[in-house]
């Protein structure tokens, strides 16, 4: 979550332009403020009249622009005293690393899910993470007539030794069931921590399949599976 430096007026947050890295967003460049519109308000957490700034910021790392709403004591220069960050945009969550051999389409879908999560679109993110899991299973040969649905694909991957029994339970409980709630049930709000767990275990499953790819391909061959990259050279 973005944090206001109450003395300097800068904001520390995860920056989308820095791949989710934590960065400092400045409100001044060469001693001059980038820009702000101020509006007095009596709605403050301290019971006093405050100034509300709609202020522009810039990432000190990549130069990306940002927007923040800050409350602070009236008749004082920014950042003033009694200051509070009300809103900040855009802010991302730290990006999770994916194995280098993750297929481009699957990796792109994972990143799109992360972008949805960045913007608090939790239902969209959960649905996409479930899609990542399903596409990963199909890309690894789990698409026969015996594995008609995602439940059966996960069970088969565990039986083949590609994922552990513990990971199988997480795949069901944290990813598949949550995604099914989005796709098939009536609309309901989904908790951010549930989507964070979904994202975390989706990334772990991608590591199971693509981190030591040569070993996984041998297991898949022994199980009679035909993954899309079956002819990957052992040297890769």
User: Could you read off the pLDDT of 177-193 as tens digits, one per residue?
Assistant: 999 998 888 889 999 99
pLDDT in tens, 200-218: 999 999 999 999 999 999 9
Check residue 234 and give its pLDDT. 46
CB-side exposure of 218: number of CA atoms within 13 Å?
5
Going by C-beta distance under 8 Å and a sequence separation of 6 or more, which residues neighbour residue 175? 129, 130, 133, 198, 201, 202, 205
List the Cα angle 155/157/159 in 5-degree steps.
70
Check residue 46 and give its pLDDT. 73
E strand or H helix that includes residue 166: helix 165-170
pLDDT in tens, 66-79: 999 999 988 889 99
**With bands split at pLDDT 50, 70 and 90, how would you rate the model's confidence at 54?**
very high
Dist. CA 229–CA 234, nearest whole Å: 12
Helix (H/G/I), strand (E/B), else coil: 217:
helix
List the Cα angle 59/32/20 in 5-degree steps.
5
**Residue 209 · residue 140 · CB < 8 Å:** yes
Region of residue 9 (left: phi > 0; alpha: psi -120 to 50; beta: else): left
Check residue 221 and give its pLDDT. 94
Check residue 235 and give its pLDDT. 42
**Residue 145 · residue 126 · CB < 8 Å:** no
For the record, the structure tokens of 43 come out as 């709605």
Would the pTM count as exceeding 0.85?
no
Least confident of 50-54, 132-136, 162-166, 197-201: 50-54
Question: Phi and psi of 12, rounded to 5°?
Answer: -105, 125
100 or 148, higher pLDDT: 100
Report whether pLDDT(42) > 60: yes
Report whether pLDDT(236) > 60: no
Helix (H/G/I), strand (E/B), else coil: 124:
helix
């Amino acid at each position: 979550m973005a944090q206001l430096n109450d003395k300097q007026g800068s904001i520390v947050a995860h920056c989308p332009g820095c791949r989710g890295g934590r960065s400092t967003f400045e409100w001044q460049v060469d001693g001059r403020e980038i820009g702000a519109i101020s509006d007095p308000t009596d709605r403050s957490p301290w019971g006093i009249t405050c100034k509300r700034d709609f202020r522009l910021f810039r990432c000190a790392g990549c130069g990306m622009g940002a927007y923040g709403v800050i409350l602070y004591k009236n008749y004082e220069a920014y950042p003033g005293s009694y200051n509070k960050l009300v809103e900040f945009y855009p802010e991302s969550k730290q990006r999770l690393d994916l194995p280098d051999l993750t297929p481009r389409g699957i990796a792109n879908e994972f990143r799109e899910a992360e972008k949805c999560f960045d913007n608090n679109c939790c239902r969209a993110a959960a649905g996409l993470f479930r899609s990542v899991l399903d596409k990963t299973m199909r890309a690894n040969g789990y698409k026969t007539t015996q594995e008609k649905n995602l439940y059966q694909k996960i069970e088969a991957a565990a039986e083949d030794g590609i994922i552990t029994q513990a990971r199988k339970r997480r795949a069901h409980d944290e990813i598949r069931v949550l995604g099914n709630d989005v796709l098939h049930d009536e609309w309901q709000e989904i908790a951010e921590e549930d989507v964070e767990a979904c994202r975390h275990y989706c990334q772990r499953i991608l590591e199971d399949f693509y981190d030591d790819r040569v070993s996984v391909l041998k297991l898949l061959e022994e199980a009679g599976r035909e993954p899309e990259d079956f002819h990957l050279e052992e040297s890769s």
